[in-house]
């Protein structure tokens, strides 16, 4: 059995993973106020999906809810 062929078969069946590679030691993304407001506006737009908005921007729904709360409180 050739390991090269077996590995190629596994890789061909593996799901494609996409994401943002963060260089350096810091792994958290820093969002500007403008970016947060744009994402919040997109999440409440007519016909919008909160889940889809979160996936498009690579954030969790919990993060979006936190931003909404901060916006309501004026933080």
Instruction: Check residue 40 and give its pLDDT.
Output: 95
Task: Kindly report whether the global pTM for this prediction surpasses the value 0.95.
Answer: no
- What is d(CA 60, CA 51) in angstroms, rounded to the nearest whole number? 8
Classify residue 46 by burial, with Cβ atoms within 10 Å: 0-12, 13-18, 19+: exposed
Beta carbons of 43 and 53 less than 8 angstroms apart:
yes
Separation of alpha carbons 12 and 33, rounded Å: 41
Q: Where are the beta strands (DSSP E) in 1-75?
A: none
| Low-confidence spans in the chain with pLDDT less than 70 | 1-26
Which pLDDT belongs to residue 29? 85
Q: Look at the block and give the residue holding tokens 């901060």.
A: 70
């Amino acid at each position: 059995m050739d390991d090269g062929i077996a590995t190629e078969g596994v890789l061909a069946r593996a799901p494609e993973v996409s994401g943002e590679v963060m260089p350096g030691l810091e792994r958290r993304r820093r969002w500007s106020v403008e970016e947060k407001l744009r994402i919040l506006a997109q999440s409440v737009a007519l016909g919008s999906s909160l889940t889809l908005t979160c996936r498009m921007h690579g954030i969790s729904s919990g993060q979006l809810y936190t931003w909404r709360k901060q916006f309501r409180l004026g933080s």
